[in-house]
């Protein structure tokens, strides 16, 4: 696969240009599938999913002018004939994996079977947003409001060989201040990128290119 891993979607012209380069065609000629599954565990999840899919969010993802856009709901896939949904995935140009609860997303990527299919899609572009980016790593770390276990490290999909911590220094994400991100990255056993919402990581054949109009940092993690 080819990857465009973002903190908050297609937030500027540089990230959009990187997406077009990965697609190898204009967005208006490309077909995409959007995965909103990670939003479900939150209060108001159904409304959040609707806002995403209707283009009513500030996140420029579904409203980029795709030639066609479908919804791939991971929790439904185990009850659907495999050949139906795999055909849809194999023929799309981009898979848009939205953010939310990264642990829930990891679970359903695996249980649905999509995690097994993704590495076989050599020309498909994986566009991750927040948790949708984090889950591609060999391991990922997530913060929770639990004083006894504030930073949880879990096994990711291993689609890339680094970890990612999104929303660097975002006012609405105090857990993602530069100091706290550096501390979290130090607990991870792989190199870790901290990226803000104006930054994305473009990955082709394992080579990482940082696309940024904002701020990012690379931490080497545990030694």
pLDDT number for residue 93 = 98
pLDDT number for residue 5 = 98
pLDDT tens digit sequence for 120-137: 999 999 999 999 999 999
The hierarchical CATH code for the domain 1-152 is 3.40.50.880
Could you tell me the pLDDT band of residue 32, with boundaries at 50, 70 and 90?
A: very high
Burial class of residue 33, CB neighbours in 10 A (0-12, 13-18, 19+) = buried
Domain ranges of the chain: 1-152
Nearest to 19 by CA among 3, 36, 38, 39: 3
What are the φ/ψ torsions at residue 209 (nearest 5 degrees)? Answer: -120, 125
pLDDT number for residue 222 = 61
- SS3 for 133-174 is HHCCCCEEEEECCCCCCCEEEEECCCCCCCEEECCCCCCCCH
pLDDT tens digit sequence for 141-195: 877 656 665 678 889 999 999 999 998 877 777 676 787 888 888 888 999 999 9
pLDDT number for residue 171 = 74
Residue written as token pair 């420029």:
60
pLDDT number for residue 39 = 94
CA dihedral 42, 163, 130, 180 (to 10 degrees): 80
pTM, two decimal places: 0.93
The Cα 105–Cα 75 span in angstroms is: 10
In whole numbers, what is the pLDDT of the chain averaged over residues? 91
Burial class of residue 204, CB neighbours in 10 A (0-12, 13-18, 19+) = middle
Burial class of residue 167, CB neighbours in 10 A (0-12, 13-18, 19+) = buried
Q: Identify whether the C-beta of residue 131 lies closer than 8 Å to the C-beta of residue 101.
A: yes
- pLDDT of 88 higher than 70: yes
pLDDT number for residue 145 = 57
Q: Which two tokens stand for residue 191?
A: 């190199």
Share of the chain above pLDDT 70, in %: 94
The Cα 37–Cα 101 span in angstroms is: 9
Could you tell me the pLDDT band of residue 217, with boundaries at 50, 70 and 90?
A: very high
Could you tell me the pLDDT band of residue 30, with boundaries at 50, 70 and 90?
A: very high
pLDDT number for residue 209 = 97
């Amino acid at each position: 696969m080819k990857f465009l891993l973002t903190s908050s979607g297609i937030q500027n012209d540089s990230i959009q240009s990187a997406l077009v380069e990965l697609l190898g065609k204009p967005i208006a000629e490309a077909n995409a599938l959007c995965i909103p599954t990670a939003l479900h565990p939150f209060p108001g999840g159904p409304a959040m999913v609707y806002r995403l899919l209707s283009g009513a969010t500030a996140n420029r993802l579904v409203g980029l002018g795709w030639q066609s856009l479908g919804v791939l709901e991971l929790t439904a896939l185990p009850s659907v004939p495999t050949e139906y949904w795999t055909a849809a995935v194999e023929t799309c140009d981009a898979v848009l994996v939205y953010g939310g609860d990264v642990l829930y997303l990891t679970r359903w990527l695996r249980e649905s079977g999509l995690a097994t299919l993704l590495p076989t899609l050599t020309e498909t572009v994986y566009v991750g947003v927040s948790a949708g980016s984090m889950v591609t790593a060999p391991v990922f770390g997530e913060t929770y409001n639990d004083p006894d276990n504030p930073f949880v490290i879990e096994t990711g999909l291993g689609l890339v060989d680094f970890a990612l911590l999104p929303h660097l220094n975002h006012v609405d994400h105090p857990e993602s201040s530069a100091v706290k991100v550096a501390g979290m990255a130090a607990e991870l056993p792989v190199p870790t990128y901290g990226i803000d919402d104006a930054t994305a990581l473009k990955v082709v054949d394992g080579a990482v290119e940082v696309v940024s109009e904002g701020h990012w940092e690379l931490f080497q993690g545990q030694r």
